[in-house]
Amino acid sequence: MASQLNAASLEAYWMPFTANRQFKARPRLFVAARDMHYVTADGRRVLDGTAGLWCVNAGHCRAPIVEAIARQAAELDYAPAFQMGHPKAFELAERVAGLTPDELNHIFFTNSGSEAVDTALKIARAYHALRGEAGRTWLIGRERGYHGVGLAGLSVGGIMSNRQLFGPLLPATDHLGQTHYPEHNAFSRGEPSWGAHLADELERLVALHGARSIAAVIVEPVAGSAGVLVPPKGYLSRLRQICDRYGILLIFDEVITGFGRLGAPFASQFFGVQPDIITMAKGITNATVPMGAVAVRDEIYETFIQASETGIELYHGYTYSGHPLAAAAGLATLELYEREGLFARARELAPYWEEAVHSLKGVRHVIDVRNLGLMAAVELEPAQGRPAARAFEAFIRCFERGVLIRSTADIIALSPPLIVSRGQIDEIVGTLKGVLEELA
């Protein structure tokens, strides 16, 4: 299996968000991929039930994207990102702006979701400062929120294990309460009907910190990493209303929900709620080349551009912002999504997906199933005294049986590429069902 890896190379690579000791004792390696499948080092095909890490929306190694990257690498490998440009970054920005909601027409490129989040939070504070409201510095996230691993993203994030060793985090940050209450919304199909009022907690934070001290609220429209927490009906529009009332910017972190995961370009369109800023990454290049981006409302961009007569308007950016390979990959990816109608396909498959995953209700260990678009979570009763062990064991056994799922605590997350077939949905759910029935 790990035959081509010796002990030294296994040790040299410090793997991210991984149980290194456990992994290195028994490595799981992919060496190739095509469409819906990975190939392991020992030559087995594994059906991708997670689109990599929620990112390979069009399936693996798609020829148009592969070719665009190869052509670009041979033609223009790199152009300085500051005070110089190359055409494809502009073309991609225009394409992305064509997918974002109406008034969000300006795109800042980053290399990851984490950087997109830090960029968005900096833009939010600077925007208020430029408008003469420098006192608006507080950034509000949400319990169980995941906004990447930068120190700002961690500060508004709400997953304790990601935060606990790294304090003190950014001051002037606070959190809304999380939205998943199994006693009210276990086994909800789509958006739970209970819980819109949870958005009113923002009123409490406004009262606590002062209406004119809050810069922005950032939420994932559907929380992904914490285990697919679907917002209660009406919750997001209520957040929007409260932000409007107090001049607070609303940021949707669409790193997972962007690019068709819910059957619309962005969750914003799916829910009919328009934020001021959207962060994105992952599906923007079908995960072939690292890239993230931030889309901002016209008036935010104009505020920066008007504030400076001649100089640099935003002292922020990355060496690889709008990198030629990422831009080429992004253009080919968006063309592919469009040509194959993949967002519409996700929308059409969603009811079948919902039926399939909810067939796990009543299966051994299952205490909740939730879904939206082509996302779902299956939550398990934790094994006595061994939290997270049961879902991790399910992950290992599914992998051995040729299906890739993802586990986080005792929650199994599913998010296949949008090209998944009905038969493959049955295979993912059927394999998981078999594994759960036999798990201790």
Binding site for ligand PXG (CB under 6 A): 53-54, 112-114, 117, 146-148, 220, 224-225, 253, 255-256, 281, 406, 408
Q: Which residue is nearest to ligand PXG (CB)?
A: 113
CB atoms within 10 A of CB 318: 17
- Which one, 33 or 130, has the nearer CB to ligand PXG? 33
At closest approach, how far in Å is the CB of 228 from ligand PXG? Answer: 9
Residue closer to ligand PXG by CB (options 112, 213) is 112
| Cα distances (Å, whole numbers) of residue 396 to 33, 326, 406 | 19, 33, 9
Rounded to a whole number of angstroms, the minimum distance from the CB of residue 94 to ligand PXG is 23
Kindly tell me which of 206 and 223 has the beta carbon lying closer to ligand PXG.
223
H helix and E strand count, the chain: 17, 15
Token pair 């910017």: residue: 249
SS3 assignment, position 11: helix
Residue 281 Cβ, how far from ligand PXG at the closest point, in Å? 5
Interhelix angle for 63-75 vs 324-339, to 10°? Answer: 150
Residue among 206 and 258 whose Cβ is closer to ligand PXG: 258
Shortest distance, position 149 Cβ to ligand PXG, whole Å: 6
CB of 93 to ligand PXG, least distance (A): 19
* Smallest gap from residue 117 Cβ to ligand PXG (A): 5
Our CB check for ligand PXG shows the closer of 222 and 369 to be 222
Q: Which residues pair with 139 in a beta bridge?
A: 173, 216
The half-sphere exposure of 388 on its side-chain side, counting CA atoms within 13 A, is: 8
CA distance 47 to 268: 30
Distance CA 239, CA 100 (A): 19
One-letter amino acid for residue 30 of the chain: F
| Residue listed under structure tokens 């070719």 | 67
Q: What span, in angstroms and rounded, lies between the C-alpha atoms of 434 and 327?
A: 42
Nearer to ligand PXG, 242 or 377 (CB): 377
Question: Of 185 and 257, which CB lies nearer to ligand PXG in the complex structure?
Answer: 257
Distance CA 278, CA 293 (A): 8
Distance CA 233, CA 256 (A): 20
| Shortest separation between residue 114's beta carbon and ligand PXG, angstroms | 3
